[in-house]
Chain A
């Protein structure tokens, strides 16, 4: 059960006010926290609960589905304990910025650059926030749901004709 998860128990003690939701699906625990507490939560998990490997940083665009458009997703792994934890936090389109996790893990550098490149979320205090996969002069952020699959300025895809 998600409530018995070692990380959830400790987070409930320490960050009771900032936990929005705890979900377990297929044995994977996801904790949604408030954006203002994201860096303290991540540092606490790294320092006190041995979640020492930041496996992945990514985002999901819930355009028209949720009040806050973007959801940042951090996948953590603990090499000593060998378990996973997913931390999520919502980012609104109006205030499309979030503190950078590079101060906690070096690996967040490129992973956050990719999120900036493909979703347009700005990471505060990031040492080198540039596009990484798209060209420097590219316009728009391709993984946003309102970005056309065919690219800008082309006829939208209408499905297979045959």
Chain B
């Protein structure tokens, strides 16, 4: 009589579909996964430790490098947390531009997700189309900040600079054609029999389990939980915009795919509404102790020079206390928890990474499925390793 035994297989850290350096140790019975154990930490750079040794302004560029597919959203979470700690207000125009860029970032992140997710499952065409659209978002980043990925565009108290005049047209053109492109992706995937076979019924996690595992963002909404921080605990002026929060039913990879596609359409609507409300005005608050003065003041007035020198050399003291600010990152809830002891650096800064918490559920979602389906589960969780390892 034939006997079978369990096999242990190493997947990664250099597997082509691991989205970064993720290593999984699989326990297999034939081709069926009994247990998938993630091993992470290959990209650990000690961002939380570093931030304890840098002033509040100096910590900002580190946050770009967490979820490098959604840099502006990380900046947003961080500056909102510091602004909450300092209890300062920002100008209307800066807030609207922040929201526009946050939603552009959501589009970018979801475009990379659909491209890589489809490529992992074997649909190569979508990858090429989605990266074409992503390029426009990258050009917008470059237009306003000079950088394509690590934008570092927001500042505590507003923005680093105003956007150039061509910004509005560029964004409006993009969000007017984007729904058409989304129709193209849907045409390629939504009714594609191979896509359906690979995604329907794959990676099922019930709403109760998803909450128990702390899953947030589109992955949680795919399991039918109607919760979105932008609507339920609004920040950065999201209460002013009308948008729908899509919710799935069957808790599988296909429903999460549908949720993210609707989210992209809603992001276009939010951007359009925000562009309509964009009025001229200042983009940085006037708090001389906290915000950098305009360059012309630095060159032409002694006060400006002193303020610039003070902020650049020693930063600003923050009140003693602790704050937590969560934002709806494209991947889930990104939180910044800052403990201040009254000094010019955070005493402790904790980043609540959505991908890290979501990845934990992979063991539950892949149990009993085939090895090939594990790749679909990794894709549907939409993880980014820069943020998991920090």
> Which residues does A use to contact B, with CB under 8 Å?
25-26, 28, 30, 52-56, 58, 60-61, 65, 73, 75, 77, 79, 82, 84, 86, 105-107, 109-111, 114, 118, 131-135, 142-143, 147, 149, 157
In contact, B211 and A53 (Cβ under 8 angstroms): yes
In contact, B49 and A143 (Cβ under 8 angstroms): yes
User: What mask results when residues 332 to 351 of chain B are scored 1 for a CB within 8 Å of chain A, else 0?
Assistant: 01010101010000011010
With a CB–CB cut-off of 8 A, which chain B residues contact A147? Answer: 49
Check if B87 is an interface residue, CB within 8 A of chain A. yes
- Interface class of chain B by DSSP: mixed
Q: Give the complex CA separation of A55 and B327 in angstroms.
A: 12
* With known contacts A79-B225, A105-B214, A110-B357, A56–B323 Cβ distance under 8 A: no
Q: Give the complex CA separation of A114 and B341 in angstroms.
A: 23
24 interchain pairs, CB-CB under 8 A: A25-B322, A26-B85, A28-B322, A55-B326, A55-B352, A60-B339, A60-B348, A75-B352, A79-B225, A82-B233, A84-B233, A84-B324, A86-B324, A105-B212, A107-B213, A107-B357, A109-B360, A110-B357, A114-B356, A131-B41, A132-B40, A134-B41, A149-B49, A149-B53
Which of the residues A25, A106, A114 comes within 8 Å of B321, measured between beta carbons? Answer: A25
A57 CB, min distance to chain B CBs, angstroms: 10
Most A-side CB within 10 Å, residue of B212, B214, B225, B324: B214
> Which residues does B use to contact A, with CB under 8 Å?
40-41, 44, 46, 48-50, 53, 84-85, 87, 209, 211-214, 216, 225, 227, 232-233, 321-324, 326, 333, 335, 337, 339, 341, 347-348, 350, 352, 356-357, 360, 389-390
B212 CB, min distance to chain A CBs, angstroms: 5
Q: Give the complex CA separation of A132 and B22 in angstroms.
A: 12
With a CB–CB cut-off of 8 A, which chain A residues contact B337? Answer: 56, 58, 73, 75
* With known contacts A55-B352, A106-B212, A30–B322 Cβ distance under 8 A: yes
Q: A52-B211, A107-B214, A132-B40 are in contact. List 12 more A-B contacts (CB 8 A).
A: A26-B85, A26-B321, A54-B214, A55-B335, A65-B341, A84-B324, A105-B214, A106-B209, A110-B356, A133-B390, A134-B41, A135-B41
In contact, B357 and A111 (Cβ under 8 angstroms): yes
With a CB–CB cut-off of 8 A, which chain A residues contact B321? Answer: 25-26
With a CB–CB cut-off of 8 A, which chain B residues contact A58? Answer: 337, 350
What residue in chain B is nearest A142 (Cβ atoms)? B49
In contact, A75 and B360 (Cβ under 8 angstroms): no
In contact, B360 and A107 (Cβ under 8 angstroms): yes
Which of the residues B50, B87, B209, B326 comes within 8 Å of A149, measured between beta carbons? Answer: B50
Q: Give the complex CA separation of A52 and B216 in angstroms.
A: 12
